[in-house]
């Protein structure tokens, strides 16, 4: 079942759990802080420049964006967290929507993998640790991706991988990879994770 990456579109920008699509296709969700590079990574995976909006002002809209990939797969861009200046009402909206996705989602069994993004230069923040613990509690398979790898030199890359591999909230068997949306680094390995977890081939 090969994927046609030219047949991709934004299915819905959902602001409420009742808007989540009910299609019987696998979902892969992308989670991480505002500005960590979720939308850029989705664009890079799909070979598109600006399908997913890359924000200059982080954390502006709180929606879950479902990208329909050839009617066989949804790539799900979760709203970013950890945006310090966000108003309390916005934080509540984030929680309701994200919690809705993981706990009241009628298609939760179709969520095959969460790609948890962590900024390579910063490592896991307190918010990332909370998200990682939550994913473990929900027993949802996840991989950890260090973003913006192009900003690291060889020593920093090694250090980042060590930090992620030895991190207390990341189980030792968790796949960890570095990604650069700018250079396309990590793209083949991440697609391999997605195809392995969905049974869909590229
Ligand atoms: P929110 O939607 O606000 O949660 O942010 P996001 O996680 O979707 O991040 P986004 O993709 O919008 O990227 C945030 C900023 O980081 C933008 O200025 C991007 O150009 C930059 N960025 C993203 N990925 C990379 C990367 O691989 N390398 C470099 N150098 N910059 C990147
Ligand atoms: Mg985004």
- Cα–ligand 2 centroid distance for 69 (angstroms): 18
Pairing of strands 64-69, 26-31: unpaired
Burial class (CB in 10 A: 0-12, 13-18, 19+), 162: exposed
pLDDT in the model for residue 57:
59
> Please, which pLDDT band fits residue 87 given cuts at 50, 70 and 90?
confident
The residues, any chain, with a CB within 8 Å of residue 65's CB and separated by 6 or more, are 10, 12, 13, 14, 52, 76, 77
Whether 55 is in the pocket of ligand 1, judged by its Cβ within 6 Å, is: yes
Q: What is the pLDDT of residues 43-70, one digit of tens each?
A: 999 999 888 877 655 556 689 999 999 9
Q: Which atom of ligand 1 is nearest to the CA of 179?
A: 27
Pairing of strands 73-77, 64-69: antiparallel
Give, using CA atoms, the residue closest to atom 23 of ligand 1.
37
Provide the CB-side half-sphere exposure for 48 (13 A, CA).
18
| 98-111 confidence digits (pLDDT tens) | 999 998 888 999 99
CA distance 68 to 86: 29
Mean pLDDT of 161-184: 97
Q: List pLDDT tens digits, range 140-169.
A: 999 999 999 999 999 999 999 999 999 999
Q: Whose CA is nearest to atom 3 of ligand 1?
A: 58
* Mean pLDDT for all residues in the chain: 93
Per-residue pLDDT tens over the stretch 122-142: 999 999 999 999 999 999 999
* Residue pLDDT, tens place only, 28-41: 999 999 999 999 99
**Across 165-188, average pLDDT:** 97
The owner of tokens 């009617």 is 71
């Amino acid at each position: 079942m090969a994927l046609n990456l030219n047949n991709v579109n934004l299915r819905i920008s959902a602001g409420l759990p009742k808007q989540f699509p009910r299609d019987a296709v696998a979902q892969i969700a992308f989670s991480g802080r505002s500005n960590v590079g979720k939308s850029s990574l989705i664009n890079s995976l799909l070979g598109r420049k600006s399908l997913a909006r890359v924000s200059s002002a982080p954390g502006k809209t709180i929606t879950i964006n479902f990208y329909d990939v050839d009617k066989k797969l949804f790539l799900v861009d979760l709203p970013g967290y950890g945006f310090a200046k966000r108003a309390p009402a916005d934080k509540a909206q984030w929680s309701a929507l994200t919690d809705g996705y993981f706990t009241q989602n009628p298609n939760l069994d179709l969520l095959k993998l969460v790609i948890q993004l962590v900024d390579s230069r910063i490592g896991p923040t307190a918010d990332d640790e909370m998200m990682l613990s939550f994913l473990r509690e929900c027993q949802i398979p996840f991989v950890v991706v260090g973003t913006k790898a192009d900003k690291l030199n060889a020593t920093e890359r090694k250090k980042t991988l060590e930090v992620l591999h030895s991190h207390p909230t990341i189980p030792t068997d968790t796949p960890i990879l570095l990604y650069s949306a700018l250079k396309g680094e990590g793209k083949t390995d991440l697609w391999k994770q997605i195809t392995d977890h969905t049974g869909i081939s590229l």
